[in-house]
């Protein structure tokens, strides 16, 4: 739930990085933490187990600039990926303004990606949120690995699109980040919309800021 604080002149928004265990969610935040100047970010908090696996969440606040005299503060959260941490995973989604799904591109993690995506839809629905109506982007991580699935396969499995019911939105919308790819198009007579996607290698930082900027921009546009 974005909050506009007129007293401190800040717009606060909550972004959640979701996805299967060991997919690179925490690595995304660590990269942002390492690259952003200390004046524009806060302390990174990690509630992790002794083996560095996220137990509850990681948290990082960053300022992404000023609009109309208001600081745009984004609170970045990750969730624990392992299946059995669903109770804490669900808590983090409360009041979310934008979601990044970090998929693990490795072919053997396809099942885990699908399961986590389903779990995301279910947990959002329990709060009464509709993932197809809020800012949502998908990041295909670990693109550098030799066993990475082709993006087309990941798209087909994880981002097949949802039907566009609003007649006003039923018009072709090209993907601004990938030439020739469409975010809204007519397929077999039905209008469908897909989430924007990004390829990344979070460990080197490739694609990390592209993903963050895209979702942050979508969130701010919901306020305009």
Q: Which residues bind other proteins (CB under 8 A)?
A: 1-7, 11-12, 14, 42-43, 45, 47, 56-57, 59, 61, 64-65, 67-68, 70, 72, 75, 77, 87-88, 91-92, 94-97, 125, 127-130, 133-134, 213, 216-217, 220-224
**Closest to other proteins by CB, 96 or 164:** 96
Nearer to other proteins, 1 or 167 (CB): 1
Pick between residue 83 and residue 145 the one whose CB is nearest to other proteins: 83
Smallest separation (angstroms) from other proteins to the CB of 156 = 26
* DSSP code, position 96: -
Instruction: State how far the alpha carbon of 106 is from the alpha carbons of 99, 150, 211, in Å.
Output: 21, 9, 19
Min dist CB 150 to other proteins, Å, is 27
* Cα–Cα distance for residue pair 110/106, rounded to 1 Å: 7
C-alpha to C-alpha distance for 33 and 35, rounded to whole angstroms: 6
Q: How far is CA 94 from CA 16, 26, 38, 40, 199, in A?
A: 10, 19, 27, 25, 27
Min dist CB 212 to other proteins, Å, is 10
Q: Closest distance between other proteins and the C-beta of residue 152, in Å?
A: 27
Nearest-angstrom CA–CA distance, 110 and 153: 10
Q: Work out how close the CB of 220 gets to other proteins at its nearest, in angstroms, rounded to a whole number.
A: 5
83 vs 125, beta carbon nearer other proteins:
125
Q: Say what the alpha-carbon torsion angle 44, 197, 129, 71 is, to the nearest 10 degrees.
A: 50
CB of 28 to other proteins, least distance (A): 17
**At 6, is the secondary structure helix, strand, or coil?**
coil
Rank residues 125 and 187 by Cβ distance to other proteins and give the closer one.
Answer: 125
Distance of CA 195 to the CA centre of its chain: 10
Nearer to other proteins (CB atom), residue 1 or residue 152: 1
**94: left (phi > 0), else alpha (psi -120 to 50), else beta?**
beta
């Amino acid at each position: 739930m974005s909050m506009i604080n007129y007293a401190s002149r800040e717009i606060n928004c909550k972004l959640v990085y979701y996805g299967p265990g060991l997919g690179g969610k925490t690595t995304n935040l660590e990269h942002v933490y390492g690259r952003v100047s200390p004046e524009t970010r806060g302390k990174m908090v990690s509630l992790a187990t002794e083996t560095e696996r996220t137990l509850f969440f990681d948290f990082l606040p960053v300022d992404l600039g000023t609009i109309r005299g208001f600081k745009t503060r984004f609170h970045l959260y990750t969730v624990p990926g392992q299946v059995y941490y669903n109770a804490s995973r669900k808590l983090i989604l409360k009041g979310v303004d934008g979601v990044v799904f970090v998929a693990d591109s490795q072919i053997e993690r396809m099942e885990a990606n699908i399961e986590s995506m389903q779990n995301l839809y279910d947990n959002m629905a329990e709060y009464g949120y509709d993932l197809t109506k809020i800012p949502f982007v998908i990041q295909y991580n670990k693109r550098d690995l030799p066993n990475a699935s082709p993006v087309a396969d990941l798209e087909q499995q994880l981002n097949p699109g949802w039907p566009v019911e609003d007649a006003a939105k039923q018009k072709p919308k090209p993907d601004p980040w990938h030439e020739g790819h469409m975010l809204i198009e007519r397929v077999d007579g039905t209008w469908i919309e897909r989430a924007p996607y990004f390829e990344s290698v979070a460990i080197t930082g490739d694609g990390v800021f592209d993903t963050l900027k895209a979702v942050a921009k979508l969130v701010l546009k919901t306020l305009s």
